Chains A and B, each alone.
Chain A
């Protein structure tokens, strides 16, 4: 086995945990990343990582509760065995991270501290200040560096994955990649290939994601025949700082630690927020969800914020609400919050210029996470209800030998991800799937023995495609085309969706694809560190993914989690509460996974059932109440139709 190698594409939490686990099991790893792995998007995760813990356990919580919350939070679209396996392993993952030296925040006794997070009534989120993702990534980065020094892992940083290489039988046997500096295109043999390339927020123009999150890794596999699962499910995070280049995340932990969301009761109130007295504020999430208050799951909080702004109650009548961390609103002293949330407070202060502990933050929802992604398999363990350990099927896409892990895959989060579950799922997938990969390559003919012709062919194909791009002499700049795509996707395919606008978006994507093929103009045709070329490629990938997301959204005739469908004629009826306008969840027809395949240049849909073998789907409304209490505030008439 010594001469067998696995290629891992992506150096975020999932890629690093996969690499680490493989290296530990004696499998040589070639790790590819667009950026030095330490700069991967995982650094942006702020709030924490979920796991059952002794404190919560003694209050009645368990791994099962964590599982149930995750499935419930995901509106039952997630296959349940993988979720169960993940939540069962979570406590051990925390211990492991602890041993690796992650500086988790501590209690006075020296134990790892816990905070409250969305979708749970128990404190089950471990954290390191407000930069948990960064801390976890660094810990894994260090482990991988240790393996690198020992020769187990070879890093290829500043390399762009271009395509998987498939043999005649359709097995993935390597990749074609490009050195972003020398622009050299090369084939690499891999007995298995793991895509850990994260989400695709950039197809929405601005999102909370890093600008490397174009989804191109996913798209290039999709174009090569890999299926996507549930791409229409895109998480819009309730609280971000709106921005022209990106929307900067304001972690859910701000609310978990006591932050409160409100709007003035008076429409277009022009007073400074600190001058608006308590009784003239509408803490609408607390009013509507007395049990979960400000930490209802993200899809719900996002829609409530959207709706209250639609009603004209947003700050100054616009699209923003207050996220209040001032001592006046929270009752928590300045220094305490500074200590717990320093990392995110700093971001707000640096980019907005206001101390959010003194003046409420102005925030609005922003695209944040791709629940959907590459479809991956799992092997159910009938004895435990979870997944079979070390089974090669776990996390393999429909292409033999091509795996996906982390945000790039579609597993675990269903229709909506709970806060602080993403760090867990990323690390879990790597640790859990790697032994299966090891078993898989044992049974395969080593790719080192395959003919070079196959690999040369892959390189030639990419070189030809590149030559075409470099020779394109049209007038459409890829950066501007991306802007057009992003604007349409943001406007039409995010918080609420209607068929007419989805069709409109598809038409736009169609025309962009055509323009791309006929009128693209690269601003740079050089062959040294040409960023325009890389971006132009990614631009095409984003068009493909945008099409897949929109096509799947158009087809899904229900509302579930982050996908919220409103009939065309009710789209602008702001007088009717959202719940009354939207299509209900439809388990009879739509409790199924969307599968998207790229056929003849188009997204083709099919479906497969969801594994709900552990808990039966039930109504999901987080105890929303009809609250006649606040007379002036917009009052929904009844509990949601989506329940």
Chain B
């Protein structure tokens, strides 16, 4: 006999194991997931704003310099405020998403349900994107391996180089596979970045909205709607900021060639901002004025003094 049959005749269903300890741990994990999301979301917000300065390569370089001025502390900061929250958020998020939920936004295509589904879909997209992002751009990815091994095969792959912040970023995003790219590979990379940015912004804004319910900040339908509008505004602002950031390094990004990586430390190289198209240059003369030939020597010299690789 199935459990359903037994349940009907004796009016009792199978009593699940509701060990309160397990439930309590789950409860706290969920709340920590929420806090971690907020922390990481904060980082993403700052990240997007800084990258939006990529519309002006010099300003961007200055921002990057500020961050890298943290020196050896940077790793600590990055681990504590970025990677640890991210790890918690991702691990629990994966568990929650995979815990047998049945998405049903096809039949129940209400706004809330679509957002619920998108939150999970964007979470998964972001997972892929972050892996790609780290692997292609960050020194903890390919760069780290290169630094450790000086494997020549990797030398043609670009990645982020703090002292050539703008140009190296553009290269890493647009031509991540080096000098011999498959044409579509680079386009996919660029598109993936846009998708990643938008997914992040949605996930962040919607997460902000649901967190307020989970913590019990917004209770009434009208409060949830009100806060929803705030989150929407936040989302729109960051979508714009994020898109500017993306554009700065992709469709607007035509920097001068970077020096070879083994040429670091000599302070002779010049960082270049984006090369704007003629109409845009005319439209934003002050930006284009910054676009050419501004020396990054000072930055490089500072870096050299600190003994960091460039």
Chain A–chain B contact at Cβ < 8 A: yes
Residues of A whose CB lies within 8 Å of any CB of B are: 154-158, 179, 181-182, 184
Q: Does A155 lie within 8 Å of B11, measured CB to CB?
A: yes
Residues of B within 8 A of A156 (CB): 11
Q: Closest residue of chain B to A157, judged by CB? A: B11
Residues of B whose CB lies within 8 Å of any CB of A are: 5, 8-9, 11
Q: Does B9 lie within 8 Å of A182, measured CB to CB?
A: yes
Given contacts A181-B5, A182-B5, 5 further A-B pairs with CB under 8 A are A155-B11, A179-B9, A181-B9, A182-B8, A184-B9
Question: What is the CA–CA distance of A43 and B114 in the complex, to the nearest angstrom?
Answer: 35
Question: What is the CA–CA distance of A245 and B196 in the complex, to the nearest angstrom?
Answer: 56
Q: How far is the CB of A533 from chain B (nearest CB, A)?
A: 17
Question: What is the CA–CA distance of A179 and B6 in the complex, to the nearest angstrom?
Answer: 11
Q: How far is the CB of A589 from chain B (nearest CB, A)?
A: 51
Residues of B within 8 A of A155 (CB): 11
Question: What is the CA–CA distance of A219 and B128 in the complex, to the nearest angstrom?
Answer: 69
Residues of B within 8 A of A181 (CB): 5, 8-9
Decide if the interface of chain A is mainly helix, strand, loop or mixed: strand
Residues of B within 8 A of A182 (CB): 5, 8-9
Shortest beta-carbon contacts, A-B, top 6? A181-B8, A179-B9, A155-B11, A182-B9, A157-B11, A158-B8
Question: What is the CA–CA distance of A182 and B9 in the complex, to the nearest angstrom?
Answer: 7
Question: What is the CA–CA distance of A157 and B9 in the complex, to the nearest angstrom?
Answer: 8
Query: Can you pick out 14 interface pairs between chain A and chain B where the beta carbons lie within 8 Å of each other?
Result: A154-B11, A155-B11, A156-B11, A157-B11, A158-B8, A179-B8, A179-B9, A181-B5, A181-B8, A181-B9, A182-B5, A182-B8, A182-B9, A184-B9
Residues of B within 8 A of A154 (CB): 11
Q: How far is the CB of B185 from chain A (nearest CB, A)?
A: 58
Residues of A within 8 A of B11 (CB): 154-157
Q: Closest residue of chain B to A186, judged by CB? A: B9
Q: Closest residue of chain A to B12, judged by CB? A: A155
Q: How far is the CB of B7 from chain A (nearest CB, A)?
A: 10
Q: How far is the CB of B8 from chain A (nearest CB, A)?
A: 4
Q: Closest residue of chain B to A184, judged by CB? A: B9
Residues of A within 8 A of B5 (CB): 181-182
Question: What is the CA–CA distance of A158 and B9 in the complex, to the nearest angstrom?
Answer: 8
Residues of B within 8 A of A158 (CB): 8
Q: Closest residue of chain A to B8, judged by CB? A: A181
Residues of A within 8 A of B8 (CB): 158, 179, 181-182
Question: What is the CA–CA distance of A179 and B11 in the complex, to the nearest angstrom?
Answer: 11
Q: How far is the CB of B119 from chain A (nearest CB, A)?
A: 33
Q: Closest residue of chain B to A158, judged by CB? A: B8
Question: What is the CA–CA distance of A182 and B11 in the complex, to the nearest angstrom?
Answer: 13
Q: How far is the CB of A159 from chain B (nearest CB, A)?
A: 9
Q: How far is the CB of B161 from chain A (nearest CB, A)?
A: 67
Question: What is the CA–CA distance of A181 and B2 in the complex, to the nearest angstrom?
Answer: 13
Q: Closest residue of chain B to A148, judged by CB? A: B11
Q: How far is the CB of A68 from chain B (nearest CB, A)?
A: 44
Question: What is the CA–CA distance of A182 and B7 in the complex, to the nearest angstrom?
Answer: 11
Question: What is the CA–CA distance of A157 and B7 in the complex, to the nearest angstrom?
Answer: 11
Q: How far is the CB of B245 from chain A (nearest CB, A)?
A: 51
Q: How far is the CB of B3 from chain A (nearest CB, A)?
A: 13
Question: What is the CA–CA distance of A156 and B12 in the complex, to the nearest angstrom?
Answer: 10
Q: How far is the CB of B38 from chain A (nearest CB, A)?
A: 38
Q: Closest residue of chain A to B7, judged by CB? A: A181
Question: What is the CA–CA distance of A481 and B8 in the complex, to the nearest angstrom?
Answer: 30
Q: How far is the CB of B83 from chain A (nearest CB, A)?
A: 48
Q: Closest residue of chain B to A180, judged by CB? A: B8
Question: What is the CA–CA distance of A184 and B8 in the complex, to the nearest angstrom?
Answer: 12
Q: How far is the CB of B40 from chain A (nearest CB, A)?
A: 44
Q: How far is the CB of A526 from chain B (nearest CB, A)?
A: 15
Q: How far is the CB of A459 from chain B (nearest CB, A)?
A: 16
Question: What is the CA–CA distance of A156 and B11 in the complex, to the nearest angstrom?
Answer: 7
Residues of B within 8 A of A157 (CB): 11
Question: What is the CA–CA distance of A154 and B11 in the complex, to the nearest angstrom?
Answer: 9
Residues of B within 8 A of A184 (CB): 9
Question: What is the CA–CA distance of A156 and B10 in the complex, to the nearest angstrom?
Answer: 7
